[in-house]
Amino acid sequence: MDSAQPSEESRRKVLEAAEIGAVAHLYRGEVYRSTIWRTRLDTTTNWAVVTLGIALSISYSSPAASPLPLILVGILILFFLMLEARRYRYFNVWRARCRWMETHFFAPMLHDGDLHMEEGWQEVLAQDYWRPRYHVTVWVAIGRRIRRNYVWILLIQSVAYIGKLLVHPEPLTSGAEFVERAAVGPIPGALVLAAGVLYCLVWGAAALWSWRDDARRARLRRNRTSMG
């Protein structure tokens, strides 16, 4: 190796016993923060599930009940999804830092042999503390939450709404009647159904786009332990 070029070992700071203890406490703090934000993610998902359950109970309480609650609950689900995506961006910061320390600090200590550590890993972690930033965009966060949880919530909402139009107040007899039942006050049924299709397509596109972006990031990643 050229003497002018620093070796991989020279780019790592040799930590003293007190510094190793500080890193261990830092890791515990990051785990705690990631756990708290993970709990907040579960909270917003629970809110979405509960509100959808209430809408289902109201709409299916009787054959004469309106399917409108199943439409209005979509606004609440959208709000919860946006709130959860924002929380996920915070959670992802703490999760990435924990994973970074696990793979570059703790794993080499526990491994019996020559375990690869990414060159300059301490500098990457230091810069992330010095200049904190989100590791994913809003749309990536939205897409990930849809793929993990909200795809099922949106699917249940859509199936329940279509089922309501099909069976109440009596079994459907024609396609024109299906469109007529979808009308909300002065808003034509065709427009309501078109808005519902657009609603599902937008969130489906966000999930697909985030999946493709995650795959692209994985291909560009130098190794599987990179932060984010």
- Please indicate, yes or no, if residue 8 is contained in any of the structural domains: no
CA–CA separation, 94 and 228 (whole Å): 10
- Please indicate, yes or no, if residue 157 is contained in any of the structural domains: yes
- Please indicate, yes or no, if residue 1 is contained in any of the structural domains: no
- Please indicate, yes or no, if residue 7 is contained in any of the structural domains: no
Under-50 pLDDT residues of the chain = 1-10, 225
pLDDT score, position 1: 38
Residue carrying the six token digits 């939205």 = 142
pLDDT score, position 214: 84
**Residue 77 sits in which domain range?**
16-220
pLDDT score, position 154: 92
Angle, nearest 10°, between helix axes 68-101 and 138-145?
Answer: 110
The answer to whether the beta carbons of residues 195 and 70 sit under 8 Å apart is no
Please state the separation of Cα 182 from the chain's center in Å. 31
Tell me if residue 5 falls in helix, strand or coil: coil
- Please indicate, yes or no, if residue 122 is contained in any of the structural domains: yes
Chain segment 101-152, per-residue pLDDT in tens: 888 778 777 776 555 566 677 788 888 888 888 888 899 999 999 999 999 9
The three state secondary structure string of 13-58 is: CCCCHHHHHHHHHHHHHHHHHHHHHHHHHHHHHHHHHHHHHHHHHH
CA–CA separation, 207 and 203 (whole Å): 6
For the chain, how many structural domains are there in total?
A: 1
- Please indicate, yes or no, if residue 73 is contained in any of the structural domains: yes
- Please indicate, yes or no, if residue 179 is contained in any of the structural domains: yes
| Among the listed residues 16, 72, 81, 90, the one whose alpha carbon sits nearest the alpha carbon of residue 47 | 81
- Please indicate, yes or no, if residue 2 is contained in any of the structural domains: no
